Amino acid sequence: MKLLIVGYILIVSGSAALLYQDKTKEESIVAGEKIYQDFCLQCHLTAGAGVSGVFPPLKNSDYLMNNIEKSIAGIKFGLKGEIIVNDEVYDGVMAKQGLNNEEIADVMNYILNQWGNSYYKQITLQQVSEVQKSVLD
Amino acid sequence: MKTFGYYSVILFFTLYLSCAQDNPPFIESPSEINYSYETVVDGIDIPWGMAFISESDFLATEISGTLYRVINGKKIVVEGLPELYVRGQGGLLDVALHPDYINNNIIYMTISSNTEGDSEGGNTALYSAILDGNSLKDVKLLYKATPNTKKGQHWGSRIVFDQEGHLYFGVGDRGNRDVNPQDISRDGGKIYRLNIDGSIPKDNPFVGKENAKEAVFSYGHRNPQGMVTHPKTGEIWEHEHGPKGGDEINIIKPGVNYGWPTITYGINYSGTPITDKTSMPNMAQPFYYWVPSIGPSGMAFSSSGVYPDWTDNLFAGSLKFEYLERLVIENNKVVKREKVLDKIGRVRNVVEGPDGYLYVGVEGKGILKIVPAK
């Protein structure tokens, strides 16, 4: 009986882990680089430098590093209106890119850990799925 | 004084060298601004396409998936759009009226779509529909590029008509530059020509060629973002985004290969070369190319005389530098480029309205009308 219960727990937790397994941070960053090149590069450019006054930088960006939730929401739902990045005003439109939550987590992990950026935590699928549009209000 | 002389020489050569890579004529700011603008409608974030029913009644697309009918500046949402596949630069793209719209109420739209219901992404589709007041009826799929892909880039696509009853539209290379644009058996990186009912003209250049996509009219394109029928010659003019550098203006001719990515004046975003070739036999040179890239979007000629100094000039929006560009053409050459509406925002579209005014779609602002100074 005991064995049965232990076995049951193992199987259930094992399959749950398989179903909800996030990539490691390193795997997520690798996947995120591909997303970045397909969806972000045209505007934010190869080194994440952006274009002053038009496309905000991602490299050394105070907005990105201090507003993780809003940054996720911006990718997930699109972003418009005035934001201030490194003391410069940006008043543009970033269209919703149609990325799924996993792709958003991956590209966030990439931009948060590139070009000298560094973020101690990993952005998870769970975290992206919980971000609501209302954080942008 | 001697040092000053030295520095002047050094400065001169630095400027000279840095300009030498740019393609002339260089962009200018006007010495005198003899126009202003009015906002015709606001609250459209990315106004991609525009089509005029009359001067006070037009259709405008919002790329995220809303078709508006704007009557006297008031937006009404048009119901009945086919399903969109929103991904990257895709969405609800261009809208155009049938040349005989006044009698049949037919409109055309290009849309990023997945009509196959698979899980493999999307590609560009051309639809027709009847505009019945504020809703679409009899929605028909006329062309669907295949295969679907999850890539976000380069969907095209403007819709224009010639004077012989054909419709033209473009599909970009869909982020697969080494496979699609040079292969006429594949969609993507092409300008297509159809009859106005969606059928393929018998005299299309690749009809009867083995495995060819017979709707293809020209190939070797990267991402067409502007197209217009020349008001005098009737030629189809197109512009397209290059990579870093190498945006092009082309005059579209049947069966012609415009070269992407075998020849280009651009380089990769990372700065590495794509090819060392800018020309090849059997590949057309662009009418003009932009280095640096301006990110052209939307294309119109001013033919009306509403702006006396601008008659027959070509206009293209600049997404990158946030102005409308005026190009003066003499003897089949661009001889002058000038900024109009400098720093206005990302200019997505420009159209000459039935009243002869230029209407400009600006991201985050809506649609503006350029008004000459009295």
Query: pLDDT of B262-310, one tens digit each?
Result: 999 999 988 999 999 999 999 999 999 999 999 999 999 999 999 999 9
Give B15's pLDDT tier (boundaries 50, 70, 90). very low
Q: Looking at the domain assignment, is residue A15 inside a domain? A: no
Enumerate the domain spans of chain B.
Answer: 42-372
More confident residue, B19 or B175: B175
Cis peptide before B261 (omega within 30 of 0): yes
Give B231's pLDDT tier (boundaries 50, 70, 90). very high
A-chain residues near B151 (CB < 8 A): 38
Give B374's pLDDT tier (boundaries 50, 70, 90). confident
B46 → closest Cβ in A81, A95, A98 = A95
To the nearest whole Å, the CA of A118 is away from the closest chain B CA by: 22
Q: Which CATH architecture has domain B42-372?
A: 6 Propeller (2.120)
State whether B64 and A93 contact (CB < 8 Å): no
Task: List the 57-86 stretch of A: residues with Cβ below 8 A of B.
Answer: 78, 80-81
Residue A43's closest chain B neighbor by CA? B320
pLDDT above 90: residue B12 = no
Please report the pLDDT score of residue A13 as a whole number.
58
pLDDT above 90: residue B218 = yes
Chain A / chain B CB contacts < 8 angstroms? 51
The least confident of A41-55, B181-195, B198-212 is A41-55
Give B339's pLDDT tier (boundaries 50, 70, 90). very high
Write the pLDDT tens digit of every residue in B101-126. 999 999 999 999 999 998 889 999 99
Please report the pLDDT score of residue B119 as a whole number.
82
State whether A54 and B322 contact (CB < 8 Å): yes
Number of CB atoms found within 10 A of residue A128's CB: 22
In a 3-state reduction of DSSP, which class is residue B194? strand
B269 → closest Cβ in A41, A78, A81 = A41
Residue B89's closest chain A neighbor by CA? A97
Q: What is the mean pLDDT of chain B?
A: 94
Number of CB atoms found within 10 A of residue B371's CB: 14
Please report the pLDDT score of residue B21 as a whole number.
78
Number of CB atoms found within 10 A of residue B307's CB: 19
Mean pLDDT of B43-58: 97
pLDDT above 80: residue B128 = yes
Which H helix or E strand runs over B16? helix B2-20
More confident residue, A23 or B340: B340
B154 is known as an active-site residue = yes
Residue A59, domain CATH:
1.10.760.10
B-chain residues near A80 (CB < 8 A): 45, 364
* Whole-number Å distance between alpha carbons of A76 and A128: 8
pLDDT < 50 regions, chain A: none
The backbone region for B121, taken as left when phi is positive above 0, alpha when psi lies in -120 to 50, beta otherwise, is left
B152 near A CB under 8 A: yes
B162-200 core/surface letters (b: 16 or more CB in 10 A; e: else): beeebbbbbbbbbbbbeebbbbbebbbbbbbbbebebeb
Please report the pLDDT score of residue A102 as a whole number.
96
Q: The complex's ipTM?
A: 0.81
Structural domain count, chain A:
1
Residue A93's closest chain B neighbor by CA? B364
Please report the pLDDT score of residue B3 as a whole number.
55
pLDDT above 70: residue B352 = yes
In a 3-state reduction of DSSP, which class is residue B34? coil
Q: Looking at the domain assignment, is residue A67 inside a domain? A: yes
Please report the pLDDT score of residue B40 as a whole number.
98
pLDDT above 70: residue B14 = no
Please report the pLDDT score of residue B17 as a whole number.
43
Measuring CA to CA, which residue among B345, B112, B363 is closest to residue A97?
B112
Q: Are strands B323-330 and B123-132 parallel, antiparallel or unpaired?
A: unpaired
Please report the pLDDT score of residue B4 as a whole number.
53
Determine the structural domain holding residue A59 and report its residue range. Answer: 24-136
Interhelix angle A68-77/A101-111, rounded to 10 degrees, is: 130
Please report the pLDDT score of residue A15 as a whole number.
56
* Whole-number Å distance between alpha carbons of B54 and B355: 8
Percent of chain B topping pLDDT 70:
95
Q: Are strands B27-28 and B333-340 parallel, antiparallel or unpaired?
A: parallel
Please report the pLDDT score of residue B276 as a whole number.
95
B85 CA to centre of own chain:
20
Q: Looking at the domain assignment, is residue A95 inside a domain? A: yes
* Whole-number Å distance between alpha carbons of B195 and B236: 15
Please report the pLDDT score of residue A11 as a whole number.
63
